[in-house]
Structure 1
Amino acid sequence: MKQVVTFGEIMMRLSPPLNYRIPQASSLEITYGGGDANVGAALVHLGMPAAHVGCFPDNAVGHAAVQAFRAHGVDMSHCVFRGERLGLYFLEVGASLRASRIVYDRYNSAFANLQPEWFNWDDILKNAQWLHWTGITPAISASAAQATREAIQAARRLGIMVSADVNYRRNLWQYGQKAQDVMPELVAGCDMVVCTEGDAADLFGIKADEGAENSFVSMSEKLIERFPQIKQVIATKRKTQSASHERIKGMAYVNGAYYQTLYFDINPVVDRIGGGDSFISGYIYGQQHYPAVEEALTFATAASALKHTIHGDVNLVTAAEVEHIMAGNTTGRLLR
């Protein structure tokens, strides 16, 4: 089976134990993650081969980040070691009424300073069936945006599926180019996108028709009309009860038809970081293993729900465990 290739920054995550606040902490737990790489690692645990492409400092911290994803089984052979620092983020896990908080420290990272010519995409993608990226990657720097552009162009030449989580992060776009000027060209090369109504409005000026019966469908129709390469639009919808209690469902607009799942109830939430990445990896897996869109979407949403019960950025679940939840086994009864 050919690989799914992801491209983006991996950061060190530093988090106080339990639900401590950062000022209370006398120690911090270290894990590693990134929106794109999390997708690849989750796919490996589901049983699909994946490779990640990134840039890391050539020091103990950079090599530790790469090794963390090698330990998941991700092919990291196309990563580049140049630059001086690995991006960091600090996560304070909330509870009940207190929301979780993230503080980023990623300025001037090795990934932000990468040069597009360091990556031979025709070679990187020669054993690939799918390329996945997120809107975070081109937001980091102009050179990262150009590398993303070249990756998509190579994938199109090679006839490889391309997907993106458009994931608009306004505060990341600080290098002089606007997301609204960069993202349309990149998204135009995608076959599948994860896009909410809010992201469509912010990035592309696309808004659902006023009074539309289903705003997601209305937005998706307009998105596909503007970007005809896109064949599938997917997203999750949340009903957040508290920092410790989430309800999520999956939505998809495919070939002119709308699909949705039932809500999955997650209580308590252990760690919601990576929930969206797990949804995407679940949908990619589902596309390869289920004949019906409904099944792929349900698999993706169940995978995302399970991620909320697991510490760290990566969804450490097997396909069998996701299918167990799909079958309605949601009581958490002890398995022997």
Structure 2
Amino acid sequence: MGTDLFTFGEALSVFISSDTDSVMSATKYERVTAGAEVNVAVALSRLGLKAQFFSRFGNDQLGSVMLADIEAEGVDTSLVKRVDSFTGAMVRNSGKSQAVEISYLRKGSAASTIEPADILDSYISSAKWLHTTGITCAISQSGEKTVKHALKTARELGVKASFDLNIRRKLWSESQASATLAPIAENVELLIGGEDEFKVVFGDSDAKRVLAQMNKRGCKIAVMTKGDQVMRYSIDGQYDEITPPKVVAVDPVGSGDAFTGGSIAGLLSGLAPSDALKQGSICGALVASMFGDWTGMPTGSAGLISDELSKKV
């Protein structure tokens, strides 16, 4: 049976301080499951499409409860491998009154051992869309090779793909990120990155110029985000901008993935690219308005949010 989206990467158990807004003083934590790629998969599932997520999880209770979380969102995890390593985690404060500060527990994790042989051609050929990110490239050399392999396979099979630069500076240096991601960010249907990420990877944050360059590199839709500020994009050389809906930001973590998922869902549903990006911006704003990576993600049908919700936002 075919699926709408196939994606892979590292899912994390996120432990968020709940009694104070600082890990230095907190004694109580809430646990949620998150991760860039799995967030996108959940977004598509919430919008009524079929999403499949692959990763390696440890043979531990953390891996088991995370898989239960993901499956509860309707995401297909049947391809997941369990291995003799630990499942990755993140510890952070809530960010309600202080800037979000993150500590990773992921070096040598189960997901960091992902390798190209894990991604069979049939996983990609049975999907309408492949989504990948720079985070998988950052967690290990085998992860980087897997992303390159998957994108190459998708091109050969004629499957549309997206790539999110998604630089995580605690995982590698800016020079490492640039050297690795610049050659990968080409020949995809959708390329997404923040203004600062384009600056790091391509040495340029001038939206019109760098997005036009991305179109010339074979990226049909190139998007430059900047949090809740104006989003710039270029489609086949045609530049335009979108002002995201204004909401009271409660927790911006995960909003970028909601934008990506909402946009991909819109494209798969047949929306014009500009309308798909508008849907993505609504999804991103709704997630930012609530606490948690998935909490505010809207539901929908056949890849689309309701007209009522769209007009309300």
When normalised by structure 1's length, the TM-score is 0.84
- Please tell me whether residue 172 in structure 1 is matched to residue 152 in structure 2: no
| Mapped partners of 1:129, 1:291: distance in 2 | 15
Q: Which amino acid aligns with 1:113?
A: T
Cα deviation, 1:173-197, whole Å, max 9, x if unaligned, reads: 27xx933332233223422100234
Write out aligned runs for 1:107-146 (5 A). 107-117=107-117, 119-146=118-145
For the structure 1 residues 31 and 76, does the alpha-carbon distance in structure 2 shift closer, same or farther, using more than 3 Å as the test?
same
Q: Is the 8 A contact 2:45 2:51 kept in 1?
A: yes
Q: Which amino acid aligns with 2:188?
A: C
For the structure 1 residues 251 and 47, does the alpha-carbon distance in structure 2 shift closer, same or farther, using more than 3 Å as the test?
farther
Report what 1:251 is aligned to: 232
Q: Is the 8 A contact 1:302 1:325 kept in 2?
A: no
Q: Which amino acid aligns with 1:265?
A: K
Aligned-pair CA distance for 1:2: 3.3
Which segments of 5 or more consecutive residues in structure 2 lack a partner in the other structure? none
Q: Is the 8 A contact 2:283 2:297 kept in 1?
A: no
Report what 1:231 is aligned to: 220
Using the TM superposition, name which of 288-297 and 154-163 deviates more: 288-297
- Please tell me whether residue 299 in structure 1 is matched to residue 298 in structure 2: no
Q: Which amino acid aligns with 1:30?
A: R
Using the TM superposition, name which of 133-142 and 108-117 deviates more: 108-117
Report what 1:326 is aligned to: 310
Q: Which amino acid aligns with 1:66?
A: L
Q: Is the 8 A contact 2:20 2:26 kept in 1?
A: no
- Please tell me whether residue 154 in structure 1 is matched to residue 135 in structure 2: no
Report what 2:213 is aligned to: 222
| Mapped partners of 2:19, 2:283: distance in 1 | 23
- Please tell me whether residue 195 in structure 1 is matched to residue 197 in structure 2: no
Q: Is the 8 A contact 2:8 2:131 kept in 1?
A: yes
Report what 2:289 is aligned to: 309
**Residue 13 of structure 2 aligns to a residue in which SS?**
strand
Cα deviation, 1:45-89, whole Å, max 9, x if unaligned, reads: 011110011111022211221221111011111111113211111
For the structure 1 residues 223 and 292, does the alpha-carbon distance in structure 2 shift closer, same or farther, using more than 3 Å as the test?
closer
Q: Which amino acid aligns with 1:183?
A: L
| Mapped partners of 1:290, 1:248: distance in 2 | 26
Report what 2:90 is aligned to: 89
Larger Rg: 1
| Mapped partners of 2:254, 2:15: distance in 1 | 15
**Residue 112 of structure 2 aligns to a residue in which SS?**
coil
For the structure 1 residues 116 and 250, does the alpha-carbon distance in structure 2 shift closer, same or farther, using more than 3 Å as the test?
same
| Mapped partners of 2:119, 2:273: distance in 1 | 34
Q: Is the 8 A contact 2:211 2:222 kept in 1?
A: yes
Q: Is the 8 A contact 1:149 1:186 kept in 2?
A: yes
Report what 2:61 is aligned to: 60
When normalised by structure 2's length, the TM-score is 0.90
Q: Is the 8 A contact 2:193 2:225 kept in 1?
A: no
Aligned-pair CA distance for 1:285: 1.4
Q: Which amino acid aligns with 1:324?
A: E
Q: Which amino acid aligns with 1:199?
A: E
